[in-house]
Amino acid sequence: MNPYSDKALITNVSRRNVLKGMLGTGGLVLAAQFVPARFALADGGSVNAYKTGADGMPGGTVSDPHVFVSIAKDGTVTIVTHRSEMGTGSRTSLPMVVADEMEADWSRVKIVQAPGNEQKYGNQDTDGSRSIRHFIQPMRQCGAAARQMLEHAAALTWGVSDTECRAQNHKVVHVPTGKSLGYGELAEKAAALPTPKASTITLKDPSQFRYIGKGQVQITDLFDITTGKATYAQDIHVDGMKYAVIARPPVVLGKVVSYDEAAAMKVPGVIKVVKIDPTPMPAKFAPLGGVAVIANSTWAAMKGREVLNVKWDDGPNKSYDSDAFKVKMAEQAHKPGRIERNEGDVDKALAGAAKVIEHDYYIPHFSHAPMEPPAATVRINGNKAEVWACVQSPGGTRSDVAKLLGLKEDDVTVNVTLLGGGFGRKSKCDFALEAATLSKSMGGTPVKVVWTREDDIQHSFYHAVSYQNVTAGIDSNGKVVAWRHRSVAPSLMSNFMPDPHRESSLELGLGLIDTPFNVPNLRLETGEATAHTRIGWFRSVNNIPHAFAMQSMVAEIAAELGKDQKDFLLEMIGPPRIVDPRKTVTNELWNYGDPWDTYPVDTARTRRVVEIAAKEAGWGRKLPKGHGLGIAVQRSFLTYVATVVEVAVDDKGNVSVPRVDTAIDAGFTINPERIRSQIEGAAVMGLSIAKYTQVTFKDGRVQQNNFHDYKVLRIGEGAMDVRTHIVPNSIEIPSSGVGEPGVPPFAPAFVNAIYAATGKRIRNLPLGDQLSA
């Protein structure tokens, strides 16, 4: 649910000013990732079995139990969780890793949310499906260190050797005599000990895990969520707090010309009207500007905004039009682009092919529409500020707010609430910056900025619209000998640097550049596209269009050749091997910010998930009339996912999805129950995207407003029977994430299933009424 490994690079780009590494050819950002490190024991105070990209992120990793663990005299163990919770369960899963390693009894563990402080806790950018991938090892080390400190405290108490003391389910036992001391009794002594050196830390044998990999631990907020006590940013109450809503420019970079302040001030409860200037692009996460109304209640602020009658100068994006832009992108996709990866000679192979197949695929903008619209509260007191916000990026929010207010980072506290959904939207802290601006305008009075649903849908950072052209050459034996993929989409990098007018290395890394297809002549190209709105990462990001085009095209060729879709997909993937695009890319190569040696492109794993999904779905089974099966696979966020979708199409063209089977290989897994919930949710989001979701622009303005015209999936509309098949892996297989990778294969599997059911090929999303028209 969570975006954005691309964020690894973005945070590097935006927070460390290594633009050169992104734009030039030097590979500054990525260079460190080429160090071979697979399974080598790392040095420098870590017991990690393998290297990840975690150290390349702002704040890196911290594994000191003095930071994360405290024990009360009554034995209650409090574990700090430093990543934001938006529904994936990481707020529970990471502390569970600590608890397991330290032999804590989960029923006596309390979880406390860390404020934004990356110097203290390590990286907090909760996106890119990274929480488990980057923190399973540091959290194991943290728990193991705590366990050894407790054992040592017991040894000191008894005057015996550490080797005679064993931590076991919340107490330390003296093995020769059987006497024991509870964690509460040892707390004070253990807390006074220094953290053991990494070289002396022994991790548990996985056979001794109590919680990791078992799936019996429920999310820590379950009771509070079901009783209304769980607190999200929209729910924050601070003494003396005022409420604000903002009229934002309907066109990005639009400016306020005039507004009726007096009318707004006449609304009972309205206190103040504040104009906020826009920031020119690249604006990173700076607010869009507009006119804010501050009032004694949310309702009064909203009533005040209604009568502002703002006149806008729409600025340079005023003619942005989705239909016209689609035509422009198509033109780009139909001519040679910039070569990004090149193997063999595609032109020659296409010229000599017995058959050439060419198709185009289109996916529109999406808005994340998390159920909780963005919200933030800020209070300023002298040279200190306090923030309460539903942010995926507590550390980045802290530095951005500090910068905006001219304060030291140490004087800004970012309290992270629960996030009512995130999907990438809440990685951008514009709403917290708005609250900071407005609190400042009120002399520091706490101000809560409330985004309405209309604000959320009309002023998001949108999933990139995209146009893909794929051309395949087939020889007389029915073998694919040429594959040319032209990808056109505006870049989210336009928020951080002058618009690159094409997908960046990071976006190509999102499931295009790493294509595993076993074709001798292969060329990946990008075409030009300009961002006319704010582009942002949306759960699984560019993997969605890339997977849609590639996995649809494979099925189209299979149909053309009269081959089974699944068999042909395996043929395209080719034999089990490591695919290494490092030698054949022409620009920088991005592997989700993680080392290739730890996370290579391993087609044995790609093949395995395809085979498991197909087998579990009963591929080839006899289906009722109007039903069809489709399959697709994508490696995204270093996790391999294959999905088989069964559709049922009635004679009016209505499509339902009676069953979904998804196989996922995420390396070693922590919490199978939460993996299943992510995969079930990914199917719902996937089906939303495939059937309904789109944001369109006319005259620079978003045409959708709320859930009546921004349609999302509702209960019973399909994907009610999603079966998740988790590939079992031992702990040596590096863990990867599960928040995003379930989404990309869904849409292509869905359209492939429609083709199987009806013979009709859907190449433009959303489906809408294409089958009934």
Q: What is the binding site for other proteins (CB under 8 A)?
A: 1, 85-89, 218-219, 221-223, 225-232, 234-235, 237, 243, 268, 297-300, 303, 368-373, 418-423, 450, 452-454, 673, 677-678, 680-685, 706-708, 712-716, 719-722
Cβ proximity to other proteins, 375 vs 629, nearer residue:
375
Cα→Cα distances 394→120, 123, 148, 432, 461, Å: 12, 9, 31, 10, 18
Chain centroid to CA 554: 26
547, 636 contact by CB (below 8 A): yes
**In the complex, minimum distance from the CB of residue 93 to other proteins, in angstroms, rounded to a whole number:** 13
Nearer to other proteins among residue 668 and residue 746 (C-beta): 746
CB of 131 to other proteins, least distance (A): 14
Nearest to other proteins of 234, 540 (CB atom): 234
Question: Letter for the amino acid at 460?
Answer: S
Nearer to other proteins, 170 or 463 (CB): 463
DSSP string, 537-553: --TTTTHHHHHHHHHHH
The DSSP result for 725-767, as a single string, is: EEPP--TTS-----SSTTSTTHHHHHHHHHHHHHS----BS--
Minimum CB distance to other proteins smaller for 95 or for 700: 95
Rounded Cα distance, 694 and 712, in Å: 9
Residue 406, sorted as left (phi over 0), alpha (psi -120 to 50) or beta, turns out to be left
Q: At closest approach, how far in Å is the CB of 147 from other proteins?
A: 29
CB of 274 to other proteins, least distance (A): 20
15 or 242: CB nearest other proteins: 242
Residue pair 54/734 in contact by the 8 Å Cβ criterion: no
Question: What's the min distance (Å) between Cβ of 104 and other proteins?
Answer: 22
- The answer to whether the CB of 567 falls within 8 A of the CB of 754 is no
If the CB atoms of residues 49 and 419 are measured against other proteins, the closer one turns out to be 419
Q: How far apart are CA 698 and CA 63, in angstroms?
A: 50
Tell me how far, at minimum, the Cβ of 675 lies from other proteins, in Å.
Answer: 12
Question: Measured from the CB atom, is 239 or 323 closer to other proteins?
Answer: 239
User: To the nearest whole angstrom, how small is the minimum distance from the Cβ of residue 620 to other proteins?
Assistant: 25
Q: Tell me the closest approach of the beta carbon of residue 530 to other proteins, in angstroms.
A: 30
Shortest distance (Å) from residue 397 CB to other proteins: 19
| DSSP category for residue 197 | P
Cβ nearer to other proteins, comparing 15 with 272 = 272
**103 versus 661: smaller Cβ distance to other proteins:** 661
The SS3 call for residue 148 is helix
The residue with tokens 């299979």 is 558
Minimum distance, C-beta of residue 625 to other proteins, in the bound complex (Å): 22
CB of 107 to other proteins, least distance (A): 15
Which lies closer to other proteins via its Cβ, residue 469 or residue 671?
A: 671
Residue type at 75 in one-letter notation: G
Distances (CA, A) of 350 to 345, 346, 522: 9, 6, 10
Instruction: State the Cα–Cα distance between residues 149 and 77, nearest whole angstrom.
Output: 14
Rounded CA separation 476/480 (Å):
10
Please, which residue, 162 or 673, has the CB nearer to other proteins?
673
Quote the least distance from Cβ 241 to other proteins, whole Å: 10
> Shortest distance, CB of residue 674 to other proteins, whole angstroms?
8
Q: What are the phi and psi torsion angles at 363 (to 5°)?
A: -135, 130
Complex with other proteins: residue 233 or 731, whichever CB lies closer: 233
Residue pair 433/401 in contact (Cβ under 8 Å)? The answer is yes
Q: Which residues, including other chains, have CB under 8 Å from residue 107's CB and lie 6 or more apart? A: none
Give the nearer residue to other proteins in terms of CB position, either 262 or 715: 715
Q: What's the min distance (Å) between Cβ of 714 and other proteins?
A: 5
> For residues 93 and 469, which CB has a smaller minimum distance to other proteins in the complex?
93
Calculate Rg over the CA atoms of the chain.
27
Which CA distances in Å does 511 have to 207, 421, 488, 547, 549?
Answer: 35, 24, 14, 7, 11
621 token code pair: 């089974």
φ/ψ (deg, to 5) at 641: -135, 130
With beta carbons less than 8 A apart as the criterion, state whether 765 and 747 touch: yes
Cβ at position 650, least distance to other proteins in Å: 16
How does strand 355-363 pair with strand 338-343?
Answer: unpaired
What is the rounded CA–CA span in Å between residue 754 and residue 760? Answer: 7
Give the integer Cα–Cα distance in Å for 484 and 741: 24
How open is the CA angle 693-694-695, to the nearest 5 degrees? 140
Kindly report the length of the chain.
773
| Phi, psi at 78, each rounded to 5° | -105, 125
Q: How far apart are CA 403 and CA 440, in angstroms?
A: 13
